[in-house]
Amino acid sequence: MRTFKIKFHWMLIFSFISFFLHGQSSSTKSQQAPNVTLHLVTGQDSLQLSTLKGKSVMLAFWSIYDIQYDNFLSQLSKISSRYPKLKIIAVNTDDTPDSLLMEYSRKFTRLTLAWDKNGQAFSSIQAHRTPAIYLIDQYGIIRKQFPEGIADLKKLNFALRGLVDHF
């Protein structure tokens, strides 16, 4: 019986590691995150995604045309407080007025709010709709994709624990 428990635990650990390293929420394989430049809403310098190597990153695309975009940003803010090692970049994909984006940057201070000025990041990462979330590991590899945003919060939290706790 004891041997069975030990084998079971090792199998469970191996399955978890295998799922995290090889499983994808969409049908695509892991790929290198594109080296794109995002314009920060605060008016500071722009941010190049490649400068974040060495950190775990969540790239979250959103639009004011999404029905629950305010809820999406609120959930991202909660995730940010739960995973302080995670760099969350909430990228607006449309021509939202600067005043509205500035208001959101004051409301959601835990998030890095950026604007995908010409759609370069959205198309480079091959996103198809908003909201969409991409988890990037410390090596700049997209490890998980959530093209449905935070629709499945359990799966997202599971992937985040694997990304932040193990890398």
CATH code, domain carrying 161: 3.40.30.10
User: What total of structural domains would you count in the chain?
Assistant: 1
How large is the average pLDDT for residues 49-63?
92
pLDDT at 27: 37
pLDDT in tens, 60-106: 999 988 888 889 999 999 999 999 999 999 999 887 767 778 888 88
- Cβ(56)–Cβ(167) below 8 Å: yes
Among candidate residues 42, 106, 40, 45, the one with its CA nearest the CA of residue 77 = 106
- pLDDT value at residue 42: 78
For residue 101, what is the enclosing H or E element?
helix 98-107
Range of the domain at 160: 2-166
Is residue 47 within 8 A of residue 53, CB to CB? The reply is no
Q: How many beta carbons lie within 10 A of that of residue 63, not counting itself? A: 16
pLDDT higher at 128 or 146: 146
C-alpha–C-alpha distance, residues 29 and 27, integer Å: 7
Lowest mean pLDDT among 23-32, 42-51, 55-64, 141-150: 23-32
pLDDT for position 132: 92
